[in-house]
Amino acid sequence: MKKGRLLILLILAGLLLAIGACTRTATPPAAKPAPAPSPTTAPKPAAPAITLKVQTFFNDVHPVTKGYTFFINELEKRAAGKVKIDYVLGDPYGKHANVFDLVSGGVVDFAHILPGYTPGRLPLMEFSGTFPFDWKNAEEVSYVHYKLAAKGYFDKELGAANFQYLFGMQGAPYDLFSRSLVKVPADLKGMKIRGAGGVMSRWVEAEGAIAVSMASAEQVVALQKGVIDGTMIQAASVAAMKLYEVTKFQNVIHLSTWYGPMATTTATWNKLPADVQKIVKDIAQAASENIGRVYDEQGAVAMKEFPKLGVQIYNPTADDMAKWLAPIKALLDSEVAKLKAAGYPMDNFMKDFEQFRSEWRASHK
């Protein structure tokens, strides 16, 4: 009996052990360790901004300076940190008359070049930009020269000088500002009149004056000291430079002007990234139009203020203007012949010049 009970107990114990084994939760296999993160590539540091030295020779209210400021602000904004302009006023790097050499020698990177200050080095620009054509305003000067440059007329001489044309800069038409009243060329006899050199000086001499070539920035002192008796200059520049303090007479002849390229060397241009070059080209026309507009606007304001400042304004009669224009035809023939002999396509140039001027005048009647 006892053996039977023992057997029953052993069977029950076995059953309990089997049931317990079945109800235990299986231990899950150990999880594989997570792979180590891949090393991340550090972002490339931004390239340092390209610094360009830019110099103008005038104060901060002069139209030329405002033209520079427009160009610089647009370039820096669109380049988004790729370009930084080291912009200075005055002449810390060199004199105004030496701007051609300052750019070609790399002393400054960008500057506007006045061909009349270095006669013979950019002869077609010198002719086009200083010959005494009868201009209406600076906007017309801007339009005509933008179109001429777009047709490639200035490429040869700029290339020979290793210059890259950026855009054109130009002033308004010149008037005669003097220390004594001048109505007609006969009144110029014995007077020393400032011109920008080259073609312009030959015109001043053709009108009967003694031509004195000097940079615009030098006129104030020259007038104060009696080195010159008058100057061919725009009303806006007279106001900006306070020349009305030493020239009390204005003859509104509206002949000649100044035009020259904002330029850099080919080497400097080629160092600029392609996208920066494109930005410069994209803003070129707007920059040129801006300086023309500023000259015209500031000139109009100045003309209203001159009488209050003691400046006597003389508007020449038709007979007066005929006398001013009389020597210009012979001078034009002479200058064109010299350029044609030097290999310039003057027949086509003059044809296009007149066409572009007619286009502008037709659209601004």
With respect to residue 57, please indicate whether it lies within any of the assigned structural domains.
Answer: yes
Residue 257 DSSP SS3? coil
**Six token digits for residue 137:** 């305003």
Does residue 361 fall inside a structural domain?
no
The answer as to whether 143 is a domain residue is yes
Q: Is the residue at 39 inside a domain?
A: no
> Rounded distance, CA 88 to CA 59, Å?
10
User: Which range marks the domain in which residue 92 is found?
Assistant: 50-352
Q: Element (H or E) spanning 88, and its range?
A: strand 83-89
Instruction: Give the residues across from 110 on adjacent strands.
Output: 54
Residue 3 in any domain: the answer is: no
> What angle is formed at CA 357 by the lines to CA 351 and CA 363, rounded to 5 degrees?
135
DSSP character for 188? G
Comparing CA positions, the residue from 258, 293, 306 lying closest to residue 66 is: 293
Residues in the chain: 365
Cβ contacts of 251 within 8 Å, gap of 6 or more: 175, 176, 178, 182, 183, 314, 316
Q: How is residue 134 annotated by DSSP?
A: B
Burial tier of 74 (Cβ tally within 10 Å: 0-12, 13-18, 19+):
middle
Residues 325 and 71: their CA atoms lie apart, in Å, by: 36
Q: Strand pairing partners for 53?
A: 86
Looking up residue 303, the CATH number of its domain turns out to be 3.40.190.170
Asked, for residue 31, whether it belongs to a domain, the answer is no
Strands 192-195 and 50-56, how do they pair? unpaired
How do the pLDDT tens digits run along the chain, 365 residues long? 445 554 544 445 454 444 444 444 445 555 555 555 555 565 565 678 899 999 888 888 888 888 889 999 999 999 999 999 998 887 777 777 788 999 999 999 999 898 988 888 999 999 999 999 999 999 999 999 999 999 999 999 999 999 999 999 889 999 999 999 999 999 999 999 998 788 999 999 999 999 998 888 788 999 999 999 999 999 999 999 999 999 999 999 999 999 999 999 999 999 999 999 999 999 988 999 999 999 999 999 999 999 999 999 999 999 999 999 999 999 999 999 999 999 999 999 999 999 999 999 999 98
Q: Into how many domains does the chain fold? A: 1
Entry pTM? 0.82
Domain membership of residue 333 (yes or no) is yes
Residue 106 lies in a domain: yes
